[in-house]
Amino acid sequence: MGWIIFRKETPPGSTDIRDLKNNKLVMFQHRHYFKIFPWLAFVLPVVIPGYFWGDWAGGVYYATLIRLTVVHHSIFCINSLAHWLGEAPFDDKHTPRNHLFTAVVTMGEGYHNFHHQFPVDYRNAIKWYQYDPTKWFIRASELLGLSTNLQTFPENEIKKGTLTMSLKKLRAEQDSIKWPLDSADLPVVDWDTFQKESETTPLILINGYIHDISGFEQKHPGGRTILTRHVGKDASSAFSGGVYGHSNAAHNLLAMMRVGILDGGVEHVKYVTPAERLRIVEQLKKDDVDPWSPITAK
In a shared domain, residues 31 and 131: yes
Domain that residue 256 falls in: 183-277
pLDDT for 232: 93
CATH of the domain at 271: 3.10.120.10
Asked if residue 286 is part of any domain, the answer here is no
**pTM for this model (two decimals):** 0.70
- Residue 86 sits at the vertex; the CA angle it makes with 82 and 87, to the nearest 5 degrees, is 110
Please check whether residues 213 and 268 belong to one and the same domain.
yes
Query: What's the full length of the chain, in residues?
Result: 298
H-assigned helices in 79-210: 100-105, 112-117, 133-143, 155-175, 191-198
Q: Evaluate whether residue 11 is within a structural domain.
A: no
Residue 287 falls inside a structural domain: no
Amino acid type, 264: G
Q: Are residues 229 and 129 in the same domain?
A: no
The reply to whether 196 and 146 lie within a common domain is: no
Q: How many domains does the chain have?
A: 2
**Residue 290 counted as domain residue:** no
Instruction: Answer whether residue 110 is part of any domain.
Output: yes
Question: How far is Cα 251 from Cα 244, in angstroms, rounded to an integer?
Answer: 12
C-alpha pair distances (Å), 87 with each of 79, 102, 133, 201: 15, 12, 20, 50
Domain assignment present for 189: yes
**What pLDDT score was predicted for residue 243?**
59
Are 186 and 258 in contact, with CB atoms under 8 Å apart?
yes
Q: Is residue 288 part of a domain?
A: no
pLDDT digits (tens, 9 = 90+) for 115-173: 999 999 999 999 999 999 999 999 999 999 998 899 999 999 999 999 999 999 999 99
Q: What angle do CA 74, 76, 80 make, to 5 degrees?
A: 115
> Is the domain of 39 the same as that of 149?
yes
| 143 and 193 together in one domain | no
Strands 258-262 and 280-282: unpaired
The one-character DSSP state at 43 is I
Answer yes or no: do 264 and 204 share one domain.
yes
Residues 6+ apart with CB under 8 A from 167: 280, 295
Evaluate whether residue 164 is within a structural domain.
no
116 and 194: one domain?
no
Looking at this protein, which amino acid is placed at residue 173? E
Residue ranges of the chain with per-residue pLDDT less than 70: 1-12, 242-243, 265-271, 282-298
Same domain flag for 193 and 87: no
pLDDT at site 275: 78
Per DSSP, 14 falls in state P
Q: Which of 123, 158, 193 is the last residue in one of the domains?
A: 158
| Residues 222, 132 share a domain | no
For residues 153 and 198, state if they share a domain. Answer: no
- Please tell me the predicted confidence (pLDDT) of residue 184: 85
Cis amide leading into 294 (omega within 30)? yes
Question: In this structure, are 192 and 128 located in the same domain?
Answer: no
